[in-house]
Amino acid sequence: MINSVADLLDLHEIDLDIDRLLDERENLPELDEYKEAHGEGVRLEAEKAAATAALKTADLGLDKTSGELEIMSERAAAEQNRLYAGGISARAADYLRREVEMLYAKVSKMEDEVLASIEEKEKTEHLVERLTEDLDSSNAESEGLRGTITERWRVIDKHIEMKEAHKLEALPSVDEYLIEMYDELRASRQGRVVGPLVEGVCGSCHLRLSAAEVARAKKEDPPRCVHCRSILVT
C-alpha cells in the first residue's frame, strides 16, 4: 500500500507536468499576437476590397465623364465654327452665340468634374497601394507568428508525448482502486490531489493537521487529508 500510494504521487507529478504543458500550449503569448494580426489582416482585406471597388467605380465614372466632355467639346466647337462662318441672320447669330456660350460653360463645368474625378481616382489609387502594403506586412507578420506557434507546439507536444510515455510506465505500479479514486478527484477539481504529509502539513492544501487528525487520516485507506480530502503519502 505505501509503495503504491507513493507511486501514485509520482504519477500525479507527471499529470501535473502534463497539465502545465497543456496550459502553456493553450496560452502561448504568440497566440494572442496571431489573433490580433489575423484580425488586422481581415480588416485590411475588407478595406482593400472596398477601396478597389471604389477605384473601379471611379475609373468607370471618369471614362463616362471624359467621353461626355469630348462630345460636348466637339459640339461646342462645331457650333462656334458655324457662328464664325456667318451666313445667318443677326437674330439667329445672337441665339447661336448664346448657345455656344452655354455649351462652353457646360464644357468648363465638365472639365472641372473630370479634374475632380482624376484627383479622386489618384487618392483611391494611393489608398489601394497603401492598403496593399499594409496587408502584405500584416500577412507576413501572421505567417511569422504561425511558424513560431507551430514550432512551439511541436516542442511542447514532444514533451507531452514523453510525459505520457512515463505515465504509462508508472500506471502498473499503482493499485487499480487508487487510480479510480485519483481519477475521480482529478475530475472534480483542479490542481494537486495527491500530496505528502510532512510534519503534519498536507502537501496539497498546505494546512496543518492536528495529531488526532493525522491519526484519523492514517486510518483511512488510502490516507486522506481531513481538510481537502487529497490522498496523502505518509
Q: How far apart are CA 195 and CA 187, in angstroms?
A: 17
Q: Which whole number is the average pLDDT over 209-233?
A: 94
For the chain, the distance separating the N- and C-terminal CA atoms, rounded to the nearest angstrom, is 11
Could you give all domains of the chain from N- to C-terminal order, each with its CATH number? 24-172 (1.10.287), 175-234 (no CATH)
pLDDT > 70? residue 15: yes
Confidence of residue 232 (pLDDT cuts 50, 70, 90): very high
* Burial of residue 24, with CB atoms counted within 10 A of its CB: 0-12 exposed, 13-18 middle, 19 or more buried: middle
Per-residue pLDDT, 90: 84
Nearest CA among 118, 121, 119 for reference residue 129: 121
Per-residue pLDDT, 2: 42
pLDDT tens digits along 25-38: 999 999 999 999 99
For residue 130, the one-letter residue type is: R
Per-residue pLDDT, 1: 43
Per-residue pLDDT, 167: 95
Per-residue pLDDT, 3: 56
Asked if 209 contacts 197 with a C-beta cutoff of 8 angstroms, the reply is yes
pLDDT tens digits along 50-94: 999 999 999 999 999 999 999 999 999 998 998 888 788 888 888
Mean pLDDT of the chain: 93
Overall residue count recorded for the chain in this entry = 234
Per-residue pLDDT, 82: 85
Q: How far apart are CA 215 and CA 203, in angstroms?
A: 16
pLDDT tens digits along 115-162: 999 999 999 999 999 999 999 999 999 999 999 999 999 999 999 999
